[in-house]
Structure 1
Amino acid sequence: MPTTMTPARADGVTPRLRIAVDAGGCRECDGNASLLVIRAGYGLAEEPPAVLHETSGGRWAMVENNAPITVLHSLAPPDGTTRYVDQMTDGAPADVRVRYFSWRVALTGRYDVLHLHWPEFLVRARRRRTRVAKRLAMRVLLWRTRWARIPIVRTTHNVTPHESGTAAERRLVRAVDRATTAFIHLNGTTAAPAPGLETVIAHGHYRDRFAAHPRSDRVPGRILYFGIIRPRKNVEHLIDVFLARERPGCRLRIVGSPTPELAERIAARIAGHDDVSARLAFVDDDELVAEVTAASLVVLPYSEMHNSGAALVALSLDRPVLVPRSPANDELAREVGPGWVLPFDGTLDDADLTAALAAAGAFGDDDRPALGGRDWDEVGRRHRDVYRAALDRVRGGSR
């Protein structure tokens, strides 16, 4: 049965088509409209079952509204340890296909959406020649996404990069932001760096991810720092605050991967102190769960914090966290319930640590923070909705 094909044209002009499309299947056709909607008995107010999008050479191809979406993430594949990529992979609905980043795939592969995370990392390298090559590749990638109408979706993990880059890097990241169709914020306090669609999708919890790993018994008075160790994390300052006075019954544990210089300084600081110990290495999930659940309090003494996967790990394992006060952390505290997110102002001091230890002691083994709405299936569905909205915007010509 023939199907009327109506061009989505603002001027109301209907171009002549050389080949029609019937309701029984898809055919290619030539035309000069930017978007054609297949109307097979659907009213104007109803969602069309499919749209035709222009491809190269003036050709057209049908894309159904419920067709699978292939998403290229600027992330390495899962490696068996818990990383953000696991949420993007395991939480993806059946109609979202995930691909992982390489420059070859980005520049020549087939995908519908480019999802960027920490774009500055894509153009960093130790050698100048490699940096220049990556910057050129990024320019080509931006050109490709615009020419092929591939929307860019960006998750704003940080307000600004943790390590500031060169002026050339900052210019390129700004170009990425201008080319971005949709921004995903992990909390409601983030401002988009450029105009575009915006939505908030909370960082998923890790309860299901860690359920199969053995838990330790909680040790009263045991304080833990875990995660990457860098100067901005203020781990040395945490050690100094802890050791500033006697703390009977308390222990400080440091777990994480530092730079070689920081490893030497931390080892020197804790030498001769039996109440401070360290595991200065990246640990697998079994060891991570054992370390976190053995603690009564997790301390993240950062200079500033906007989003923290480490805080979500601690909360997922039912341990309170002491964190720097920020709008994002205040929002998280309201969400998870009283006493789980303990803020400190300015620089961590003895009073902050002492009060947090006392507050942490009030929780029992059956107490859990409220993490509803952060399960990976829900996170995946909401990402899928953003991908479809970005595709509609770009291929509908409103980008």
Structure 2
Amino acid sequence: MLGLTRLGMSMTVEVLLSLAPPDGTTKFVDQLTEGKHVDTQYRYFSWRTALLGRYQVFHVHWPEQLVRAPGALTQIVKRILFRLLLLRFKLSGIAVVRTLHNLQPHEEGDSVERRLLGKLDAATQLNIRLNAATPMDESTGVTILHGHYIGRYPGVEPTDVRVGRLLYFGLIRPYKGVERLLDIFQSIQDDTKTLRVVGRPTPELRSLIEAVCEQDERVSARLQFVPDDVLASEIYASELVVLPYKEMHNSGAILVALSLARPVLAPRSPTNELLAEEVGPGWVNMFDGDLSEAKLLAVLEEVRSLQRNPPKLSGRDWGVVGRQHHAAYLRAIELRKAS
């Protein structure tokens, strides 16, 4: 087949990711490319490469990013380019693979976006889900678990836990429930508890968090993207990582915390129930409905008192993930050839 080189029983596959190159902060793309199979060759996204470059597989993540832009003119241009990309897929032998990170985009798009992404779905040969709870047509899909982050922070030594330290980290958006966490924490009358918020917020949430920090000296924040070593230090210092999302499907943040052996409190979901069973007791603690003060304090006491074995994450080794992705690309190429 054009573009595939036989190496023993394997084949070299050229894959264009819909992702930008690594930027020094922990992202899915870092682990995916560093753990790749020897016969997988990755290229990073640019519109020039997408429309004119040589590759056999287009691997799309968070497809809404391909058709969204902060300015109206830029968005129009991106959507024209996206239509040209769809045309290239139709006229060429390029296979399309999509990783299903979320059931729906966290922030809803307009009707034009929905139509364009529907056309991308129709052009997709193979879907990859990151957990068995994601609904998927298994005849055109595979399950590949999200890899762990063990060994990702080799330059950071584990530090002593700051007793009573609660941590939220990651992007700060309305759907992630940080406002609720701030309200709950302020209602706790206990000077031995502290709350740390780390991540880049929207302008509105920045103002809210900064105001709370001024009002309550127990609350502190670092409102920006942080380097890996800083993030690891923040996690190591926490007694409990709190992710008060209004809903959660897949979360890299949970896996980062677990990889650094810190327990997590997160919303109950089919995905989190599977993860809790996988890693063992005491690591993934869940709340139902809205997070409450009582639940937060109860989980904090539980993680202090429970003797836990290290979280079981061996099934998420990135070497395994890389081999599974390579096999998925080969399958997608065969499906494209047969279509």
The bucket for the TM-score relative to the shorter chain is: over 0.9
**SS of 2:215's equivalent?**
coil
SS at match of 2:11: coil
Q: Specify the alignment match of 1:352 in structure 2.
A: 295
Deviation at 1:66, TM superposition (A): 2.5
Corresponding residue for residue 146 of structure 1: 90
Amino acid at match of 2:153: F
Q: Does residue 379 of structure 1 match 2:313?
A: no
* Residue of structure 2 equivalent to 1:14: none
Residue 11 (structure 2) aligns with: 67
Aligned to 2:187: 244
CA contact (8 A) 2:155 2:229 kept: no
| 1:146 alignment partner, SS class | helix
Q: Which of the numbers 330, 336, 339 marks the counterpart of 1:394?
A: 336
Matched, 1:170 2:106: no
Work out whether residues 4 and 12 of structure 2, in 8 Å CA contact, stay in contact via their aligned partners in 1: no
In 2, Cα distance between equivalents of 1:265 and 1:272: 11
Query: Could you say which residue in structure 2 is the equivalent of 1:272?
Result: 215
Counterparts of 1:340 and 1:62 in 2: how far apart (Å)?
43
Distance 1:319 1:272, change over 3 A: same
In the alignment, which residue of structure 1 is the partner of 2:265? 322
- The equivalences for 1:176-255 within 5 A come to 176-192=120-136, 197-255=140-198
* Structure 2 CA distance for aligned equivalents of residues 90 and 62 of structure 1: 21
Distance in 1 between residues matched to 2:5 and 2:228, nearest whole Å: 41
Indicate yes or no: 2:83 matched with 1:109.
no
**CA separation of 1:62 and 1:177: change in aligned 2, threshold 3 A:** closer
1:331 corresponds, among 271, 274, 294, to 274
| 1:293 alignment partner AA | Y
Which blocks of at least 5 consecutive residues in structure 1 are unaligned?
1-51, 54-60
Cα offset, 1:148, TM superposition = 1.4
Return the alpha-carbon distance in structure 2 between the equivalents of residues 124 and 346 of structure 1. 31
Deviations 1:195-234 (A, max 9, x none): 8611111111101112332322112211101111111111
What is the deviation of 1:113? 0.5
Structure index of larger Rg? 1
CA distance in structure 2 between the partners assigned to 1:248 and 1:316 by the alignment: 29
Structure 2 letter corresponding to 1:147:
L
Partner Cα distance (1:384, 1:184) in 2? 12
Matching residue within 110, 121, 136 for 2:65: 121
One-letter amino acid of the structure 1 residue matched with residue 30 of structure 2: D
Give CA deviations for 1:8-49 in whole Å, capped at 9, x if unaligned.
Answer: xxxxxxxxxxxxxxxxxxxxxxxxxxxxxxxxxxxxxxxxxx
> Contact between 2:243 and 2:266, CA under 8 Å: does it hold in 1?
yes
**How many equivalent pairs are there?**
337
Does the 8 Å CA contact 1:318/1:367 hold for their aligned counterparts?
no
Structure 1 counterpart SS, 2:336 = helix
Larger helix share, 1 or 2: 2
Answer with 211-220 or 236-245: which moved more. 211-220
RCO greater where, 1 or 2, for CA within 8 Å and sep 6 or more? 2
TM-score, reference length from structure 2: 0.95
Q: Give the Cα–Cα distance (whole angstroms) in 2 for the partners of residues 213 and 354 of structure 1.
A: 29
Are positions 1:95 and 2:39 aligned together? Answer: yes
| C-alpha distance in structure 1 between counterparts of 2:75 and 2:116, whole Å | 12
Contact 2:4 2:13 in 1 (8 A): no
Amino acid in structure 1 at the alignment position of 2:163: P
Q: Tell me if the contact between 1:214 and 1:286 (Cα under 8 Å) persists in the aligned partners.
A: no
How far apart, CA to CA, are the structure 1 residues paired with 2:73 and 2:166? 45
1:299 corresponds to which of 235, 242, 265: 242
Counterpart of 2:314 in 1: which secondary structure?
A: coil
Cα deviation for residue 363 of structure 1 reads 5.1
CA distance in 2, matches of 1:290, 1:73: 30
In structure 1, what is the Cα distance between the partners aligned to 2:92 and 2:203?
Answer: 45
Structure 2: tracts of 5 or more residues without a match = none
> How high is the sequence identity, in percent, across the aligned residues?
50
What residue in structure 2 maps to residue 369 of structure 1?
A: 311
Q: Deviations over 1:100-157 (max 9, x none)?
A: 0000000000011000001110111122222222122112212212321111000000
Instruction: Give the partner amino acid of 1:88.
Output: L
CA contact (8 A) 1:181 1:196 kept: no
User: Which stretch of structure 1 is more off in the superposition, 172-181 or 239-248?
Assistant: 239-248
Preserved contact between residue 296 and residue 320 of structure 1 (Cα < 8 Å): yes
